Amino acid sequence: MKEVTLQVADLMDPRFLYSSDKVRSIWLLLLAYCAQKENGGRIEKGVEVLRLYNASPEATALYTWDDTTLVVWGYPSKQEEILQAKRAGGRQSGVSRVNNPKSVRRVFKDSSKSVNGTHKGEQTDAEWMAELKTREAYSHIAIDHEYQKCADWCRLNGKQMSRRRFFNWISRIPRPMNYSRDDDLNGALMR
């Protein structure tokens, strides 16, 4: 998880209120550690983690021991469960989107591709780009040049390059008013 939501009720709880500042700060660090690891507020090697924070391994009101596991009080495990359920749902919808032949969205750099670089029955990126170059609607566009511009824009803006993004990119390029396919032997004008 990237964030932890603290409940006001937890901050007003006597366990929190009557703990020392050092115990509270260690508790916050342990909450952050658990959120990062998404371990449900239970740290298997708790002694090692406490050693990292220069804390004594004694149980407090904010973290206790269950045999050799350190249990962090007030960890938002329901928030973690909701997040994991959303991720699982996102993975499922992503899988159905990739396997749907009618879907336009295909990611250029996809780690889930098979050995030959494509999903079953799907065009390679090179084939898809070659097809775009042959379409009359895009004959006025230098596809390779625009692809490079789009890829540069994605890198600069921290976006992922996808077929849908590139398709939208070239679809916004207006056709020149005086354009004729005979003007350009390659079928593409350079800007």
Contact yes or no for 83/35 (Cβ under 8 A): no
Distance CA 119, CA 111 (A): 11
- pLDDT tens profile 125-182: 888 889 989 998 888 889 999 999 999 999 999 999 999 999 999 999 888 877 565 5
* Nearest in space to 93 (alpha carbons), one of 103, 82, 78: 103
Q: What is the distance, to the nearest Å, from the Cα of residue 137 to the centroid of all Cα atoms in its chain?
A: 33
- Return the minimum-mean-pLDDT range out of 57-71, 85-99, 109-123, 134-148: 109-123
pTM tops 0.75: no
Q: Contact, 162 vs 106, CB < 8 A? A: yes
**Residue closest to 173 by CA, chosen among 156, 155, 151, 189:** 189
Sheet holding 69-72, edge to edge: 42-43, 69-72, 63-66
Q: Give 14-21's long-range contacts (Cβ < 8 A, gap of 24+).
A: 15/61, 15/62, 15/73, 16/61, 16/62, 16/74, 18/61, 19/60, 19/61, 19/62
The answer to whether residue 19 scores a pLDDT higher than 50 is yes
Q: Where are the domains of the chain?
A: 8-79, 106-183
Of 132, 158, 156, 153, the residue nearest 144 (C-alpha)? 132
